[in-house]
């Protein structure tokens, strides 16, 4: 969503006057962004909130972003607002305690199997190997991946809590070119981006392609399934598996990075720690 001349003028007038009427115009202008961001979070139909409730939570994040956005800083509003929309939705879901413990247990079981195999094999394990390590059949492993999708597991999910001054960082945000990073965080952010680049390079080619199509090209799971000639549910499984591989790779790299640069690992260890 690019900013038109009319919208740009609207921002200038709102920044100068903080007029509530102009604020309402901006909310209406960027309302489609809420639907777009919420649709990409991969929240399953079994969620306790329906689509309208999710959009309402996202709109709260949008309003928060409009109130805090400073056009003078030169950053794109869409990027700034997307983080807050995601954060508002996910924080509300977490406050409802809707994530089942069994789903969290499956995530940990798969992560543990991947971590053990990658240490032993020195390469990304294939699905059959992961299933054997987890002591389940390949069919049951794929079912576990599908069941684990009840958790918002995505590059778009925030890595840390929402703060007043800055939006939450997500893995997807680290793939973007930050035009105006804070001076005291620029070096640390570059190190974190490099860790993510190395982790992405270590993924199997099929999973790298899937992530590129989904996060860079912004295709839907259905569109990707047609390109890769597999079912949409299979694409969902591969997406979850790729994210788990990334998380495991980043955990290992962070440990190594912290040992080598103990004074320069504050951002990495503070935002990328695996959830308990």
**Domains identified in the chain and CATH numbers:** 5-98 (1.10.1740.10), 173-271 (1.20.140.160)
Spatial CB neighbours of 272, under 8 Å, sequence gap ≥ 6: 159, 192, 250, 251, 254
The answer to whether the CB of 158 falls within 8 A of the CB of 89 is no
Q: What are phi and psi of 205, to 5 degrees?
A: -55, -40
Which of residues 1 and 202 earns the better pLDDT score? 202
Spatial neighbors of 190 by CB under 8 A, at least 6 apart, are none
At 124-162, the pLDDT tens digits run 899 999 999 999 999 999 888 877 665 555 555 555 443
pLDDT confidence of residue 98: 54
Q: CB-based contacts of 251: which residues, under 8 Å, 6+ apart?
A: 115, 272, 274
In contact, 147 and 106? CB cutoff 8 Å: yes
Q: Give pLDDT tens digits for 261-276.
A: 554 444 333 333 333 3
What stretches of 69-125 show up as alpha helix (H) in DSSP?
77-95, 101-121
Say which residue the tokens 């972003």 belong to.
65
d(CA 10, CA 98): 39
Burial (CB < 10 A; 0-12, 13-18, 19+), residue 234, is middle
Q: What are phi and psi of 170, to 5 degrees?
A: -120, 165
Q: What percent of the chain has pLDDT over 90?
A: 24
The pLDDT value recorded for residue 259 is: 57
Q: How confident is residue 226, by pLDDT bands cut at 50, 70 and 90?
A: very high
**CB 115, CB 248: distance < 8 Å:** yes
- Each residue's pLDDT tens digit, 200-214: 888 999 999 999 998
Question: Which residues sit opposite 274 in a β-bridge?
Answer: none
Question: Residue 65 corresponds to which tokens in the numbers above?
Answer: 């972003």
Rounded CA separation 60/71 (Å):
20
- Residue among 148, 149, 178 at smallest CA distance from 267: 178
Alpha helices in the chain, H assignment, sequence order: 5-17, 20-39, 51-68, 77-95, 101-121, 127-133, 138-148, 171-174, 186-201, 205-211, 221-228, 232-260, 266-271
- What's the CA gap between 41 and 151, in Å, rounded? 10
Distances from the Cα of 104 to the Cα of 109, 212, 276, angstroms: 9, 26, 9
Rounded mean pLDDT, 180-200: 71
* DSSP code of residue 93: H
Rg (CA), the chain: 20
**Pairwise CA distance, residues 72 & 81, whole Å:** 15
Predicted local distance difference test score (pLDDT) of residue 204: 92
């Amino acid at each position: 969503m690019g900013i038109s001349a009319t919208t740009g003028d609207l921002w200038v007038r709102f920044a100068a006057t903080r007029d509530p009427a102009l604020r309402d115009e901006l909310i209406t202008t960027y309302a489609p962004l809420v639907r777009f961001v919420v649709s990409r979070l991969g929240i399953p139909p079994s969620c306790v909130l329906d689509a309208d409730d999710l959009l309402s939570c996202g709109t709260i994040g949008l309003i928060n972003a409009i109130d805090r956005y400073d056009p003078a800083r030169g950053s794109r509003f869409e990027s700034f607002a997307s983080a807050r929309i995601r954060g508002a939705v996910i924080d509300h879901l977490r406050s409802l305690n809707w994530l089942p413990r069994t789903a969290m247990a499956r995530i940990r079981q798969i992560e543990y199997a991947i971590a053990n195999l990658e240490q032993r094999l020195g390469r990304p394990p294939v699905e059959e190997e992961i299933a054997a390590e987890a002591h389940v059949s390949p069919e049951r492993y794929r079912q576990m991946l599908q069941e684990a999708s009840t958790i918002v597991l995505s590059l778009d999910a925030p890595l840390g809590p929402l703060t007043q001054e800055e939006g939450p960082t997500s893995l997807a945000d680290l793939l973007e070119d930050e035009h105006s990073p804070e001076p005291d965080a620029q070096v640390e952010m570059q190190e974190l981006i490099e860790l993510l680049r190395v982790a992405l390079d270590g993924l199997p080619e099929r999973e790298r392609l899937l992530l590129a199509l989904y996060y860079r090209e912004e295709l839907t799971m259905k569109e990707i399934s047609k390109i890769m000639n597999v079912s949409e549910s299979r694409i969902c499984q591969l997406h979850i598996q790729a994210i788990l591989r990334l998380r495991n790779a980043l955990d290992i790299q962070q440990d190594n990075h912290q040992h080598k640069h103990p004074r320069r690992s504050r951002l990495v260890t503070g935002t990328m720690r695996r959830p308990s």
